[in-house]
Amino acid sequence: MHRVASSGSNGGSVRNRKEKKLTYVLNDANDSKHCAGVNCLDVLKSSVSSDRSYLFTGSRDGTLKRWAFDEDASFCSATFESHVDWVNDAALAGESTLVSCSSDTTVKTWDSLSDGACTRTFRQHTDYVTCLAVAAKNNNVVASGGLGGEVFIWDIEAALSPVTKPNDAMEESSTNGLGNSQPVTSLRNVGSSNNISVQSSPSHGYAPTIAKGHKESVYALAMNDAGTMLVSGGTEKVLRVWDPRTGSKTMKLRGHTDNVRVLLLDSTGRFCLSGSSDSMIRLWDLGQQRCLHTYAVHTDSVWALACTPSFTHVYSGGRDQSLYLTDLATRESVLMCTKEHPIQQLALQDDSIWVATIDSSVERWPAEVQSPEKVFQRGGSFLAGNLSFNRARVSLEGLNPPPAYKVPLMTIPGSHPIVQHEILNNKRQILTKDAGDSVKLWDITKGVVVEDFGKISFEEKKEELFEMVSIPSWFTVDTRLGCLSLHLETPQCFSAEMYSADLKVSGRPEDDKINLGRETLKGLLGHWMAKKKHKPKPQALTSGDILSGSQGGPWRKKITEFTGTEDEKDFPLWCLDAVLNNRLPPRENTKLSFFLHPCEGSNVQVVTLGKLSAPRILRVHKVTNYVVEKMVLDSPLDSLAIDGASVSGGPQQLFAGNGLLTPGSKPWQKLRPSIEILCNNQVLSPEWSLATVRTFVWKKPEDLILNYRVAIAK
């Protein structure tokens, strides 16, 4: 796992403007669908304030979505965007507060019934935040745990005390366990398909309760309804029980032989269910501080649990792609359904159950929550064993019964995530293949799909699109969020240049150099500059999200949603220098040194003796023009022999410019010789750049050696 899109400082009262990275995300899919696996679910049931029930989902694409239902159909009624990495868990605290945690190390709160407003961001965690727990009858208490071994208990009411800031952004600066001030801002994002990120903030002073004791990563949390008991589990294979009011540890329970991945507490806090990577489900009596039962139901890691309100039956899912229902008293189990992907999380709604997997779609299955015995009446039940190898043996022997249900009640479809990508040699286009085997070609400087090839061979199309061209790598890319995330880092992102003629840019001289990084930044910030200056937006990208970082940490925002009121200090300084001031940082390796010699055995005049230096993007035909110019201008016309004559004159050390020979009506042009440029005895195409020749023909670390030969043009 790795972080995406940020490079903010770790605190301090003076903002650090030296952020190195800016990331932008491209996605041509429907914005109302997730484009990566769904990690978490929660259901908001109808109440006095809202006559509708909603399903909330959090995804590896970095967004949360609210789903409403109309008869047998579902639709996305809001998208919550501010996280810049996977959303790992989400939970409802009361009727209107949605809490989420992410691999971007933040915990965020949202107005769940709004159109996507983030109300606060907390940055106490030092590593990925993996899990949350809420108290059903004490809406103010929320706990968060993560890979850093930290467990924090938050008083949401205290944390959400009034703060006002433009653009619906609210901030929280509180101290972490080390006492470092870490201010944070979240910027609201709604309504397009591509984003950017930014942040800063003053101190606010709230600090959560810390439950200290974990030495390793925390993967699971559970809390009783009153918020008086908290259970945690993780890679230490034990359950730790805490008093969330003080953060003090009350007991430690051993039994699992692998990571504890999921926990459930009954409403009173006496009984606890745990699921583990050892494939076992355990029922604990916290009053007696012991394990009452073990259930060998699954053949692989247990990742998700959901219990009936009476805590008599448990629904379980995991890596074996199967959903089971188990009677905790009789140990009777039944296979409810099978999936094509590992099950990540479960959520009960009425008499059904929502199932989320590492796929981007979510399904609703029958569950008979009020009368689970009806599922057993369908047949196919078995008795859960005490040892995991019993279930493994049954599976190997092929004795698993057919599932009780074959078809879900409802499916909320997602978009196919990108699973394969290739940066083309032109360093402007990327070929992608998604999970549905659809192959597309992207122009990352414009943020658009150039062509959708449909379901074809990715490898064959990659070979077909191969170009013999060498451009420096000026960006990096990953598909961690299910879509293309492009990372720009200074000064590397300004290393690639091309001539306007090669980019087919009209209205500019053909030898005008265009910096790909700067032009891309202008497109990304085009909407912001247009709003700021109240002018039409030039060359602005039409979709995308920007992810960036500032003193308060990473932020995310759609490029079409900038209002122009955002503070320039929220953007990395090097970005503004490039876009507003046309000023680029010093760059290395923009030129290439080479020698230019006559072909061996040829009686061609020597036009230069020393080493030459030219831009890496200089075309071979410019070298040809240089040779012609030297031969013609340094030699009398009447003495110019067919095979070339020696001339006197000093060596040319540097190219004076790009226009080495401007076409015109010179008297000697009628006798202009035809020149061929060679490298390693291979005649070079006039359109190749020096960098291309060095990469594909010369293939040596030493300075490039070019040869030439001449003949009178016919």
Tokens found for residue 286: 């916290």
Query: Quick count: other Cβ atoms within 10 Å of Cβ 459?
Result: 12
Do strands 181-182 and 174-175 pair parallel, antiparallel, or not at all (unpaired)?
Answer: antiparallel
Residues 696 and 698: their CA atoms lie apart, in Å, by 6
CA dihedral 575, 579, 582, 588 (to 10 degrees): 40
Q: Does the structure show a pLDDT above 60 at 119?
A: yes
Tokens of 167: 């653009």
- What does the alpha-carbon distance between residue 239 and residue 94 come to, in Å, rounded to a whole number? 27
- Distance CA(461)–CA(386), nearest Å, equals 53
pLDDT tens string 640-659: 232 232 333 333 333 333 33
13: pLDDT strictly greater than 50: no
Say what the pLDDT of residue 594 is: 94
pLDDT of residue 610: 85
Distances, alpha carbon 665 to alpha carbons 39, 201, 670, 672, 693, in Å: 71, 66, 9, 12, 32
The vertex-73 CA angle with 67 and 77, nearest 5°, equals: 25
Report whether pLDDT(29) > 80: no
Mean pLDDT over 390-404 rounds to 65
d(CA 348, CA 112): 19
Q: How far apart are CA 447 and CA 435, in angstroms?
A: 21
Burial (CB count within 10 angstroms: exposed 0-12, middle 13-18, buried 19+), residue 313: buried
Residues 225-230, mean pLDDT to the nearest whole number = 93
How large is the average pLDDT for residues 557-568?
82
Give me the pLDDT at residue 192, please.
32
Residue 214 has pLDDT above 60, yes or no: yes
Query: Apex CA 573: angle with CA 567 and CA 575, to 5°?
Result: 95
DSSP 71-120: TTEEEEEEEEE--SS-EEEEEEETTTEEEEEETTS-EEEEETTSSS-EEE
Which residues share a beta bridge with 612?
594
- Looking at 563-643, which runs of residues are DSSP E strands? 591-598, 612-615
418 close to 436: Cβ distance less than 8 angstroms: no
Tokens of 177: 């366990």
Beta bridge partners of 290: 285
* Bridge partner residues of 555 (DSSP): 548
Task: Give the pLDDT of residue 1.
Answer: 33
Question: Which pLDDT belongs to residue 546?
Answer: 77
Q: How confident is the model at residue 663 (pLDDT cuts 50, 70, 90)?
A: very low
Average pLDDT rounded to a whole number, residues 5-31: 60
Instruction: Note whether 447 and 429 are within 8 A (CB).
Output: no
Strands 118-122 and 218-223: unpaired
Tell me the C-alpha distance between 608 and 654, whole Å.
Answer: 10
Return the HEC string of 403-464.
CCCCCCCEEECCCCCEEEEEECCCCCEEEEEECCCCEEEEECCCCEEEEEEECCCHHHHHHH
Give the pLDDT confidence score for residue 179 in this predicted structure.
31
The CA distance from 443 to 378, in Å, is 54
Lowest average pLDDT, out of 3-17, 82-96, 315-329, goes to 3-17
For 590-632+672-713, CATH number out of 3.60.10.10, 3.40.50.1370, 3.40.50.300, 3.10.20.90 equals: 3.10.20.90
Q: Is 96 exposed, middle or buried (0-12, 13-18, 19+ CB in 10 A)?
A: middle
Q: What gap in Å lies between CA 183 and CA 12, rounded to an integer?
A: 9
* pLDDT, averaged across the chain: 82
Query: DSSP assignment, residue 380?
Result: -
Q: What average pLDDT does this structure show over 489-510?
A: 86
Cα 215 to the center of its chain, rounded Å? 29
Q: Nearest 5°: phi and psi at 532?
A: -65, -40
**Which of 94-98, 493-497, 629-633 shows the highest mean pLDDT?**
493-497
The yes-or-no verdict on residue 706 having pLDDT over 90 is: yes
Return the closest-CA partner of residue 97 out of 82, 114, 122. Answer: 114
CA pair distance 424, 478, nearest whole angstrom: 14
Q: Would you say residue 275 has pLDDT above 50?
A: yes
Q: Summarize the confidence of residues 29-47 as an average pLDDT.
A: 87
490-499 per-residue burial string, b: 16 or more CB within 10 A, e: under 16? bebbbbbbbb
Q: Strands 704-712 and 591-598, how do they pair? A: parallel
Amino acid at 539: Q
Give the pair of three-digit tokens for residue 19: 């952020």
Spatial distance between the Cα atoms of 26 and 442, rounded to a whole number of angstroms: 9
CA distances from 415 to 40, 287, 344, 361, 619 (A): 17, 46, 18, 8, 43
Q: Nearest CA to 305 among 340, 345, 350?
A: 345
Looking at residue 205, what is its pLDDT? Answer: 67
Report pLDDT for 221.
Answer: 97
Tokens of 414: 């997602």
The structural domains of the chain, with segments of one domain joined by +, span 590-632+672-713
Contact 369, 351 (CB under 8 A): yes
Question: What's the pLDDT band for 202 if we cut at 50, 70, 90?
Answer: very low
* Residue, of 172 and 457, whose pLDDT is higher: 457
pLDDT of residue 394: 58
pLDDT tops 60 at residue 15: no
The string of pLDDT tens digits covering residues 546-556 is 776 655 567 88
Q: Which residue has the higher pLDDT, 9 or 289?
A: 289
Q: Which residue has the higher pLDDT, 592 or 655?
A: 592
Helical H segments across 267-421, by residue range:
373-376, 388-396
Predicted local confidence at residue 211, as pLDDT: 92
- Let me know: does 199 contact 570? Beta carbons within 8 Å: yes
pLDDT at 647: 31
Q: Report whether pLDDT(66) > 90.
A: yes
- pLDDT-wise least confident of 15-19, 238-242, 483-487, 665-669: 665-669
Alpha carbons 587 and 556: distance in angstroms, whole number: 29
Q: Residues 446-471: what's their mean pLDDT? A: 95
Q: Is the peptide bond before 491 cis (omega within 30 degrees of 0)?
A: yes
Instruction: Please tell me what DSSP assigns to residue 394.
Output: H
Could you tell me which of 163, 50, 74, 56 has the C-alpha nearest to residue 116? 56
Degrees, nearest 5: CA angle 198-201-205 = 145
**Nearest CA among 490, 583, 627, 557 for reference residue 22:** 490
Question: pLDDT tens for residues 608-641?
Answer: 878 999 999 999 999 998 888 887 776 543 332 3
Q: What are phi and psi of 590, to 5 degrees?
A: -85, -15
List pLDDT tens digits, range 674-690.
889 999 999 999 999 99
Q: What share of the chain has pLDDT > 90, as a percent?
A: 57
Dist. CA 112–CA 403, nearest whole Å? 35
